[in-house]
């Protein structure tokens, strides 16, 4: 999200093989490719970004901008992933030395008992590999998946603190369910300083954190129906505790329960009904209604024509 806020230009190859920069693609398309699904308008193969000066201290709504701290809740704290134990893990990333990394959690979250040997200093690209669960930088170039299981997920945005009874219920859902998990990612700070219409990504000021709900299963666990029902039940329980009107979602955690495009042949239906339906469901949830309206314009622009192959690949 923050990267998109600082993109100055891009090179886009459209379906006709034309190379377009910001000037030739037009401002609407340039706006759309920054968090609106860049591949829907062609292939972006180069970005020009603004370098941002990082001051010594910036204070966000809860933590300094330099500190990222997410919470991972999952079933399996013992010898078996289905032993009924719920594990809560804190994963952090700090832009700065170990001294800063120690000072913030020690002051704000002394209960974690963080000690310096648990910290590792590394480059940004090394941290990207670490966060992805990879053991080396070389694995970043591998296009294959190392995992062989099935998975599905949902997402939400939280705009006010959840009560203790809701947190207790979440733990019970995880303990009683299949191999499920929740990831709580913090918002605010620099992300909140951009407007909701500056890029297609609208989830800015007013959001405390996002939630990714997920569940995995192996081929021998059946067709996944039980896992998906559990995930839907947890999502339904969370409805009173998350954003409303619309209930927002994160586009990179595609959720087919929110709806999908109605296709006619190899292309989306030309009638206005499917567009209106998309706007009122996943369009508003992922992008906001206003941003979805703007995103739906460049798809039919003569500047960046789309073939039926691209439509089939990227229209959901």
Residues 238-277 pLDDT 10s: 999 999 999 999 999 989 999 887 655 444 444 557 888 8
- Rounded CA gap, 155 and 258, in Å? 11
The pLDDT of residue 272: 54
Please report whether residue 118 resides in a domain. no
- Rounded CA gap, 96 and 100, in Å? 6
User: Quick one: 221 and 266 in the same domain?
Assistant: no
4-59 confidence digits (pLDDT tens): 788 899 999 988 888 999 999 888 888 888 877 656 778 888 888 888 775 554 43
Q: With 90 as the cut, is the pLDDT of residue 227 above it?
A: yes
User: Quick one: 79 and 173 in the same domain?
Assistant: yes
Instruction: Say which residues have a Cβ less than 8 Å from residue 103's Cβ, sequence separation at least 6.
Output: none
The pLDDT of residue 105: 82
The pLDDT of residue 80: 47
User: Quick one: 172 and 240 in the same domain?
Assistant: yes
Q: Cis bond leading into 246, ω under 30°?
A: yes
User: Quick one: 168 and 203 in the same domain?
Assistant: yes
Lowest mean pLDDT among 80-89, 217-226, 229-238: 80-89
Coil/strand/helix, residue 71: strand
User: Quick one: 229 and 182 in the same domain?
Assistant: yes
Q: Cis bond leading into 276, ω under 30°?
A: no
User: Quick one: 296 and 244 in the same domain?
Assistant: no
CB of 42 within 8 A of CB of 14?
yes
CATH code (residue 168):
3.40.462.20
- Rounded CA gap, 213 and 72, in Å? 10
Displacement of CA 225 from its chain's centroid (Å):
24
Q: With 90 as the cut, is the pLDDT of residue 82 above it?
A: no
| End position of a domain, from candidates 258, 288, 303 | 258
Please report whether residue 119 resides in a domain. no
The pLDDT of residue 54: 59
User: Quick one: 17 and 84 in the same domain?
Assistant: no
Please report whether residue 125 resides in a domain. no
H-helix or E-strand spanning residue 169: helix 164-176
pTM of the complete model: 0.73
| Helix 225-238 with 164-176: angle, nearest 10 deg | 180
168-212 confidence digits (pLDDT tens): 999 999 998 888 999 999 998 888 889 999 999 999 999 999 999
Please report whether residue 44 resides in a domain. yes
Please report whether residue 303 resides in a domain. yes
Please report whether residue 186 resides in a domain. yes
Question: Binning pLDDT at 50, 70 and 90, where does residue 93 land?
Answer: confident
User: Quick one: 286 and 153 in the same domain?
Assistant: no
Domain that holds residue 288: 2-52+259-314
- Decide: residue 249, CB within 10 A, 0-12 exposed, 13-18 middle, 19+ buried: buried
132-177 confidence digits (pLDDT tens): 888 889 888 887 776 678 899 999 999 999 989 999 999 999 998 8
User: Quick one: 63 and 182 in the same domain?
Assistant: yes
User: Quick one: 77 and 224 in the same domain?
Assistant: yes
Instruction: Kindly list the catalytic residues.
Output: 253
Please report whether residue 229 resides in a domain. yes
């Amino acid at each position: 999200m923050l990267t998109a806020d600082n993109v100055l230009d891009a090179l886009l190859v459209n379906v006709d093989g034309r190379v377009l920069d910001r000037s030739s693609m037009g401002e609407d398309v340039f706006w759309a490719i920054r968090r609106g699904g860049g591949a829907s308008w062609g292939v972006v193969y180069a970005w020009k970004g603004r370098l941002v000066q990082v001051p010594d201290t910036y204070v966000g709504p809860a933590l300094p901008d330099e500190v990222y701290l997410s919470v991972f809740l999952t079933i399996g704290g013992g010898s078996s992933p289905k032993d009924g134990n719920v594990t809560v893990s804190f994963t952090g990333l700090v832009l700065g030395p170990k001294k800063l990394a120690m000072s913030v959690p020690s002051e704000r979250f002394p209960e974690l008992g963080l000690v310096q040997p648990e910290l590792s200093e590394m480059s940004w690209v090394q941290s990207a590999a670490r966060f992805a669960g990879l053991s080396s930088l070389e694995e970043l170039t591998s296009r294959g998946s190392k995992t062989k299981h099935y998975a599905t997920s949902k997402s939400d945005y939280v705009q006010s603190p959840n009560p203790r009874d809701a947190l207790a219920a979440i733990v019970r859902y995880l303990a009683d369910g299949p191999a499920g998990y929740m990831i709580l990612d913090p918002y605010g700070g620099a992300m909140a300083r951009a407007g909701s219409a500056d890029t297609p990504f609208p989830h800015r000021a007013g959001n405390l954190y996002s939630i990714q709900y997920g569940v995995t299963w192996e081929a021998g666990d059946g067709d996944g129906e039980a896992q998906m029902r559990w995930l839907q039940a947890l999502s339904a329980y969370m409805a009173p505790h998350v954003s409303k009107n619309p209930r927002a979602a994160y586009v990179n955690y595609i959720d087919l329960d929110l709806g999908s495009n109605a296709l006619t042949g190899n292309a989306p239906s030309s009638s206005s009904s499917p567009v209106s339906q998309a706007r009122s469901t996943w369009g508003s949830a992922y992008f906001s209604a206003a941003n979805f309206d703007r995103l739906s314009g460049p798809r039919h622009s003569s500047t960046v024509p789309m073939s039926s192959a691209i439509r089939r690949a990227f229209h959901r």
